[in-house]
Amino acid sequence: MVMRSFIAIDINDRAIVDSIKKLQSDLESLNINLKMINPENIHITLQFLGDLINSEINILKRILSSVTFESFSCTLLKLGTFPNMNKISVIWIGIDSESSGKLLSLYDDIDKKIIDLNFQIKRNFFSPHVTIARLKDDKNKEKLQNYINENKGMNIGSQIIDNFKLKSSLLTSGGPIYEDISVYNVDLK
């Protein structure tokens, strides 16, 4: 069986999720053609793995269990876009610089282990963020640009990061359905 898979950190602090819902509601009120990410699916992607078969999943589960890290507080702040403000496709919330450094270290540890396995996955530049919406077309883009410029310094809140997950993604017409395959908690030694 083939599973579309990725490694991520869930954003599940209730206050942060509520703030993201409010932010998404504000964006929707702009009457722009946006596809909102389900707030219950908000996460920081550490590595997109693509389609993997069961034997690859089992190898990954074993390798990922050897990753160690200490828990840390992660602050979600700044509103931004990919690829840039002139050609918006994704609206995201950024991560504070100290947490970004810790996430980058965790990403590097995971990536090295995946490279050692000779997995054939596409590697992208890692930029810690959480995607909250996707822009479907450029109609009324100026409203969105103005909103982002007016709110780019916002602070959404902080969450303790104490695990990461190997997840599967089933794409449906109603949006992706994510399921945890394995959870990897901080090293408590």
CA–CA dist 112, 118 (Å, integer):
10
**pLDDT digits over 88-138, tens only?**
999 999 999 999 999 999 999 999 998 888 877 776 789 999 999 999 988
Residue with tokens 């947490």: 99
Mean per-residue pLDDT, 149-175: 94
Residue 24 has pLDDT above 90, yes or no: yes
CB 126 within 8 A of CB 54: no
For the chain, strand residue ranges (E) read 2-10, 34-36, 43-53, 72-83, 88-95, 129-135, 155-161, 163-170, 177-185
pLDDT at 21 over 80: yes
pTM for the model: 0.93
CA distance 74 to 100: 8
Region 49-56: mean pLDDT is 93
Do residues 78 and 36 lie in contact, with contact meaning Cβ atoms separated by under 8 Å?
A: no
Task: List residues with catalytic annotation.
Answer: 43, 129
